Chain A
Amino acid sequence: MIRIYDFKGVSNQEKKNDFSKREYSVQDLLLLVWIVAKVLLVVICLLGVVAYLTLAERKVIGFIQSRIGPNRVGPQGLLQPIADALKLLQKEIIFPTASNKYLFIIAPILTMTPALAAWAVIPFDQGMMLANINAGVLFLFAMTSLGVYGVLISGWSSNSKYALFGALRASAQTISYEIAMGFALVGVLMAADSMNLQEIVLRQQGGIWHWYWLPLLPLFVVYWISAMAETNRAPFDVSEGESEIVAGFHVEYSGMSFALFFLGEYANMALLSFVAALLFMGGWLSPFEGIPFLAQAFAWVPGIIWLILKASFFLFLYLWVRATFPRYRYDQIMYLGWKVLIPVTIVWIIVVGFAIQFGVGPWFSH
Chain B
Amino acid sequence: MSELRNYTLNFGPQHPAAHGVLRLIMEVDGEQILRLDPHIGLLHRATEKLAETKPYNQSIGYMDRLDYVSMMCNEHAYVRAIEKLYGVTPPIRAQYIRTMFDEITRIMNHLLWLGAHAIDIGAMTVFLYAFREREDLMDCYEAVSGARMHATYYRPGGVYRDLPDKMPQYEASPYKKSAEIEKMNENRQGSLLDFIEDFTRRFPGLVDEYETLLTDNRIWKQRTVNIGIVSPERALALGFTGPMLRGSGIAWDLRRKQPYAAYDQMDFEIPIGKTGDCYDRYLVRVEELRQSNRIIKQCIDWLRKNPGPVMTDNTKIAPPKRVTMKKDMEAMIHHFKLFTEGYTLPEGEAYAAVEHPKGEFGVYLVSDGANKPYRLKIRAAGFPHLAALDEMCRGHMIADVVAILSSQDIVFGEIDR
Interface residues of A (CB under 8 A from B): 61, 64-67, 161-162, 165, 234-235, 237-238, 241-246, 323-332
Show 17 residue pairs from A and B whose CB-CB distance is below 8 angstroms, ordered by the A residue: A65-B125, A165-B31, A237-B122, A243-B121, A243-B402, A244-B17, A244-B399, A246-B15, A323-B124, A323-B125, A326-B123, A326-B219, A326-B220, A327-B223, A328-B122, A329-B400, A332-B223
Residue of B nearest to A235 (CB): B219
Given A242-B16, A330-B397, A332-B222: A324 and B125 interface contact (C-beta under 8 Å) = yes
Query: Do the beta carbons of B120 and A331 come within 8 Å of each other?
Result: no
Interface residues of B in 218-242 (CB under 8 A from A): 219-220, 222-223
Q: List residues of chain B with CB within 8 A of the CB of A235.
A: 122, 219
Q: Assuming the A-B contacts A65-B129, A237-B122, A325-B123, are A161 and B9 also in contact, with contact meaning beta carbons closer than 8 angstroms in the complex? A: yes
Specify which chain B residues have a CB less than 8 angstroms from the CB of A327 in the assembled complex: 121-123, 219, 223, 399
Bound Cα distance A265, B128 (Å) = 25
Asked if B58 CB lies within 8 Å of chain A CBs, one says: no
A65 to B15, Cβ gap below 8 A? no
Interface size of B as a range? 20 to 34
CB pair B219–A243 under 8 Å, yes or no, is no
A165 to B15, CA, bound (A): 15
A328 contact set on B, CB distance < 8 A: 122, 219, 222-223
Majority SS of interface residues in chain B?
helix
- Complex Cα–Cα for A64 and B397 (A): 31
User: Is B350 at the interface (CB under 8 A from chain A)?
Assistant: no
Contact of A243 with B17 in the complex, beta carbons under 8 Å: yes
Contact A65 B219 (CB under 8 A): no
Q: Across the two chains, which residue of chain B brings its CB closest to A332?
A: B222
Specify which of A64, A326, A329, A330 lies most central, judged by the most chain B CB atoms within 10 Å of its CB. Answer: A326
A97 to chain B, nearest CB (A): 17
Q: What is the distance, in angstroms, from B91's C-beta to the closest C-beta of chain A?
A: 41
Residue of chain A at shortest CB distance from B128: A65
Taking a contact as CB atoms closer than 8 A, the residue among A161, A162, A326 that contacts B121 in the complex is: A326
Given contacts A61-B124, A329-B222, 19 further A-B contacts (CB under 8 A): A165-B398, A237-B122, A242-B16, A243-B16, A243-B17, A243-B120, A243-B121, A243-B122, A243-B402, A244-B402, A246-B15, A246-B16, A324-B213, A326-B217, A326-B219, A327-B122, A327-B123, A328-B219, A329-B223
> Nearest-CB distance from A248 to chain B (Å)?
12
* Alpha-carbon gap, A72 to B118, bound state (A): 29
Cβ A67 vs Cβ B125 within 8 A: no
Report yes or no: A161 in contact with B125, Cβ–Cβ below 8 A. Answer: no
Judge whether B7 is part of the interface by a CB distance below 8 angstroms: yes
Q: Which residues of B contact A241 (CB under 8 A)?
A: 399
Q: Assuming the A-B contacts A161-B7, A246-B15, A332-B222, are A325 and B122 also in contact, with contact meaning beta carbons closer than 8 angstroms in the complex?
A: yes
Top 5 A-B residue pairs of the complex, sorted by shortest distance between their CB atoms? A327-B122, A326-B123, A65-B128, A243-B17, A326-B122
Q: Which residues of B contact A243 (CB under 8 A)?
A: 16-17, 119-122, 402
Residues of B within 8 A of A242 (CB): 16, 122
B219 contacts A330, C-beta separation under 8 Å: no
In the complex, A323→B101 CA distance in Å?
33
B132 within 8 A of A: yes
Which A residues touch B122, using CB under 8 A? Answer: 234-235, 237, 242-243, 325-328
Q: Do the beta carbons of B128 and A67 come within 8 Å of each other? A: yes
Q: How many A-B residue pairs have CB under 8 A?
A: 79
B121-145 at interface with A (beta carbon < 8 Å): 121-125, 128-129, 132
Q: A164 CB to closest chain B CB, in angstroms?
A: 9
> Measured between alpha carbons, how far is A243 from B121 in the docked complex, in Å?
7
Mask: chain B, 108-125; 1 = CB below 8 Å from A; 0 = not: 000000000011111111
Report if A64-B398 is in contact (Cβ < 8 Å); known contacts: A243-B17, A326-B217. Answer: no
- The residue in chain A whose Cβ has the minimal distance to the Cβ of B121 is A326
Q: Which residue of B lies closest to A238 (CB)?
A: B399
Q: Are B217 and A244 neighbours in the complex by a CB distance under 8 Å?
A: no
CB-CB under 8 A from B217, the residues of chain A are 325-326
For residue A250, give the distance in angstroms from its CB to the closest CB of chain B. 15
| Chain A residue contacts of B213, Cβ below 8 A | 324
CA of A64 to CA of B129, assembled, Å:
10
- 0/1 interface trace, chain B 4-20, chain A, CB 8 Å (1 if under): 00010110000111000
Q: Could you tell me the distance in whole angstroms from the C-beta of B183 to the nearest C-beta in chain A? A: 14
Interface contact A326-B398, CB-CB below 8 Å: no
A244 to B125, CA, bound (A): 18
Q: Which has the most chain B C-beta neighbours within 10 Å: A243, A323, A324, A327?
A: A243
Contacts of B119 in A (CB 8 A): 243
Instruction: Report the bound CA distance from A56 to B400 in whole Å.
Output: 32
Residue numbers in A under 8 Å from B220 (CB-CB): 326
CB-defined contacts of B222 to chain A, threshold 8 Å: 328-329, 332
B73 → A minimal CB distance (Å): 27
Known: A161-B9, A244-B17, A330-B397. A64 touches B125 (CB 8 A): yes
Task: List CB contacts (< 8 Å) of B380-414 with chain A.
Answer: 397-400, 402
Q: Which residues of B contact A64 (CB under 8 A)?
A: 125
CB distance from A317 to the nearest CB of B (A): 16
Report how far A118 CA is from B217 CA in the complex, Å: 35
Give A247's nearest chain B residue, CB to CB: B16
Q: Give A243 to B16 CA distance when docked, in angstroms.
A: 5
B264-295 vs A, Cβ < 8 Å mask (1 yes, 0 no): 00000000000000000000000000000000
Closest to B405 in A: A243
Whole-angstrom CA separation of A328 from B222 in the bound complex: 8
Query: Complex: how many Å from CA A324 to CA B219?
Result: 11
Q: How long is the Cα–Cα vector from A244 to B223 in the complex, in angstroms? A: 13
Bound: A329/B401 CA distance, A: 11
Per the bound structure, the CA–CA distance linking A162 and B398 in Å amounts to 11
Could you tell me if B125 and A331 are in contact, using CB atoms closer than 8 angstroms?
A: no
Contact A330:B399 (CB < 8 A) given known A161-B7, A242-B16, A243-B119: yes
Using Cβ atoms and an 8 Å threshold, which residues of chain A touch B10?
Answer: 161
Q: Is B124 a contact of A65 with CB atoms below 8 Å?
A: yes
Tell me, in angstroms, the Cα distance from A66 to B124 when the chains sit together: 12
The answer to whether B219 and A245 touch across the interface, beta carbons within 8 angstroms, is: no
Given A66-B129, A243-B122, are A329 and B16 also a contact pair (CB < 8 Å)?
no
Which A residues are CB-close (under 8 A) to B118? 326
CB proximity of B125 to chain A, nearest CB, Å: 5
Instruction: Give the residues in chain B near A329, CB-CB below 8 Å.
Output: 222-223, 397, 399-400
What are the residues of chain B within 8 A of A67 when measuring CB–CB? 128
B60 to chain A, nearest CB (A): 35
Chain A residue nearest to B396 (CB atoms) is: A329
Within 8 Å CB of B9, what residues of A? 161-162
Question: Which residues of chain B have C-beta atoms less than 8 A from A238's C-beta?
Answer: 399
List residues of chain A with CB within 8 A of the CB of B397: 329-331
Contact partner of A324 (CB less than 8 A), chosen from B17, B120, B123, B128, is B123
